A = this chain, B = another copy of it.
Amino acid sequence: MTIQPPKGTRDFLPKEMIVRQFVFDIAREVFERFGFEPIETPAIESWELLSKKGGGGEDIKKEIYYFRDKADREIGMRFDLTAPLGRVAASNPQLPKPFKRYQMAAVWRYDNPQAGRYREFWQADADIVGSEKMDSEAECLVAAVTILEALGFRDFSIRLNNRKILNGIIEFLGIPKEKAPDVFRSLDKLEKIGESEVLKGVTSAGVNDSKAKKLLQMIKARGSPGTILQRERKRLESYSSAKQGMDELEQIVKRCRAYGIAGKLIIDLSLVRGLDYYTGPIFEISVRTKREIGSIAGGGRYDNLVEAYGGRWTPAVGISLGIERICEIMEAEKMVKHAQTRTKVFVAVADEGLMENAIFVAQKLRAAGINSQIELMGRSLGKQLEYVDRVKIPFAVIVGAQELKKGKYTVREMAKRKQGLFTLEKIIQTLRKK
């Protein structure tokens, strides 16, 4: 019996890793093009930090990897990249603002593993700390859209809402403020569990039946920014928080128009997002595939988090891309045209006595930036070429004694079973381009 990875975690072998690296490389390149700078934080965080998640408290221990270290300190593995950023911003007030950072890393949640859900998964986050302006929301959105388009996604949309609008509606309905977090957590499940279940949730949060029904009715507004922001504005204008929320969304829409991504925006008052720390605009990017509509990115404004972690009050907004969902969809939709290996050439020897010549060839290829393997097992030429076929390396350069005398090498294009005799200079020149 071999040993397996812990439940809910996986190994990524080269074939999968090559796709994942493609995704991470594009995300990194785009984030940097938008002026986000890299940071890295520890995989583990103190319970003091982690316990501030959501409503806070002991319940979180059920959702995360929590343990005590040998000095009896309470520790857990990070469940997202926003909490660590909040800590970094709080304890580094010297960082010039806006502090624009990206981080691409694993996070851990003690969920029940199911199809497409893991206990270890990767996120790619970009956040802007220090700016209250809606320009920041627009920047996060356009960076995410640019990444998704670079990855080949076409049919996706950005749902947009504002916690201030939701607060305004709650205020309008006379629901006490302190019930808002529970109400929001119920509303967040609308797509998953349906209206009647959500209604139960909202009433059990202490809202009476008629108000709960009215609430569900009011958040049904959904459509293009033009229609919704005008139609609902009249209805909600008298509630200052909702009005401010509308103004902010208008600002975002205006900036998105300048960026050329406004066509993807849908105002959706039923968008809530589960986390308690959001204070303003919230958004979610969904992609439509042949099978389903799936969320692949989400985020929002969380102006009070840095202060909650002991820092000065500092506004902040960010977006998080879900790497697992993105990779799965790319795989399922056959958007991936990647090789199964990063190696381009295998340097084979007709005879083990020619290994030093093979090393010479491999080193020349590598110096020219051509990824090359070399025979390492003393196998026959036939076995070497079988291996090259199996691992799908596209080319083999064969070092043979006779050809060597003429200063030449056999190059075989494996898939086409085509081969020819060339000088090393010619081989390098040709392979560099392929």
Contact = CB atoms under 8 A, between A and B. Distances in A.
Contacts of A128: 376
A369 B32 CA distance: 10
Interface of A: 1-7, 9-14, 17-18, 20-21, 32-35, 37-46, 48-49, 62, 65, 67-71, 73, 75, 77, 84, 87-88, 90-92, 95-98, 100-101, 106, 108, 110, 120, 128, 130-133, 135-136, 139, 146, 255, 258-260, 309-311, 341-343, 346, 355-356, 359-360, 363, 366, 369-378, 387, 390-391
Q: Specify how many copies of this chain sit in the oligomer.
A: 2
Contacts of A258: 355-356, 359-360
23 contacts: A2-B90, A3-B310, A5-B42, A5-B45, A9-B42, A9-B44, A11-B88, A32-B343, A33-B370, A34-B366, A43-B106, A44-B65, A44-B108, A62-B70, A96-B391, A97-B377, A97-B387, A98-B376, A98-B377, A130-B377, A146-B366, A255-B359, A258-B359
Nearest to A367: B33
Contact of A46 (B3, B120, B132, B255): B3
Nearest to A343: B35
Given A2-B90, A374-B139, A110 B40 contact: no
Contact of A87 (B2, B33, B95): B2
A33 B13 CA distance: 18
A363 B259 contact: yes
A346 B133 CA distance: 17
Contact of A38 (B17, B39, B390): B17
Given A67-B67, A70-B110, A101-B14, A3 B372 contact: no
B43 A43 contact: yes
A21 B38 contact: yes
Given A38-B17, A69-B110, A96-B391, A376 B2 contact: no
B374 A48 contact: no
Contacts of A20: 40
A75 B6 contact: yes
A4 B44 contact: no
A1 B260 CA distance: 43
A136 to B, nearest CB: 5
A41 B387 CA distance: 25
A47 to B, nearest CB: 10
A90 B44 contact: no
Contacts of A363: 259-260
B139 A33 contact: no
Nearest to A1: B310
Given A11-B39, A14-B101, A366-B33, A91 B377 contact: no
A304 to B, nearest CB: 15
A288 to B, nearest CB: 26
A370 B30 CA distance: 10
A36 to B, nearest CB: 8
Nearest to A44: B6
Given A3-B309, A6-B73, A136-B376, 11 more contacts: A2-B310, A6-B44, A13-B39, A43-B108, A44-B65, A44-B108, A65-B67, A132-B377, A133-B378, A146-B366, A255-B359
A390 B97 CA distance: 10
A67 to B, nearest CB: 3
Contact of A2 (B3, B21, B309): B309
Sort A-B residue pairs by CB-CB distance and give the 9 closest, nearest first.
Answer: A35-B373, A67-B67, A9-B42, A14-B37, A2-B91, A2-B310, A17-B38, A12-B40, A258-B359
Contacts of A100: 373
Contact of A10 (B42, B49, B391): B42
A315 to B, nearest CB: 10
Nearest to A340: B37
